[in-house]
Structures are given as structure tokens and as C-alpha cells.
Amino acid sequence: MRITNQNTDEAILVELGGRLARLRLDRNLTQAELATQAGISKRTLERLEAGAVAPQLSGLIRVCRVLGLVDRFDLLVPEPVPSPIAQLKLAGKKRRRASRIKSLRVSEKKWEWGKDR
């Protein structure tokens, strides 16, 4: 969705939150990791991504609306475009979770032949 002056404050909050969530997933970060790096609580990030009304952010939108800057939010948080490879992998589905690379478990004791009893 293109953010314009005709959008409601709530619609802008939801769109910005969705864009932030997609950008987070593109960087393969969990909500907890991003919240920690940003110095906010995970719940605050969840609300932000959900587009829940936040007085400070909605106040910012109202001020920007008065100043005629709402049309520039597209530049502030551009809509993420998945790469062609990512589009093929997702096969038309939206990515919903970040994943971590699974590390191989190294057993504490080295196994030797004939010592398994």
C-alpha cells in the first residue's frame, strides 16, 4: 500500500508496522533480538509491528500530516521488495518467522571404538 495523505492514522500505523516486520524478517532477526538491539521491550516491538496505537507515533503522524510530510513516509520506511530468489523460495507465501542457523552439537566425550559399553 502506498502511504498518502488520504490514509487514516490507523492505516498508516498498520502499514508502517507491517513494513518494519518484513524488514526485520529480511534481516533474519527475531522480535526479541531486534528489541534488545533497539533497547526496547519485546512487547513494545510487537505493538509497533501490529500497528497498535502508540500515542507518540500517532502524534508524530498527526504533526507530519499538518506539515504535509505524510507522503514522504514511503521514503522513511520503504516497502521491502523480496529478491527474485526469495520470491521463488517463498512460492507466493509471506515469510512469518526468522530462523537461526542450527549449530552442530558436539558431544562432551569423544567416542572411541569398543568404549560404548
φ, ψ (nearest 5 deg) of residue 16: -65, -40
pLDDT digits (tens, 9 = 90+) for 35-53: 888 888 888 888 888 988 6
Looking at the structure of the chain, the number of domains it has is: 1
Q: Assess if residue 116 is contained within a domain.
A: no
- Alpha helices in 1-117, H assignment, sequence order: 9-26, 31-38, 42-50, 55-66, 73-76, 84-90
Q: Which of 28-37, 43-52, 83-92 has the lowest mean pLDDT?
A: 83-92
Domain of residue 38 covers 9-90
For residue 95, tell me if it sits in a domain.
no
Task: Please report, for the domain that includes residue 16, its CATH number.
Answer: 1.10.260.40
Position 54 scores a pLDDT of 64
Assigned domain for 101 exists:
no
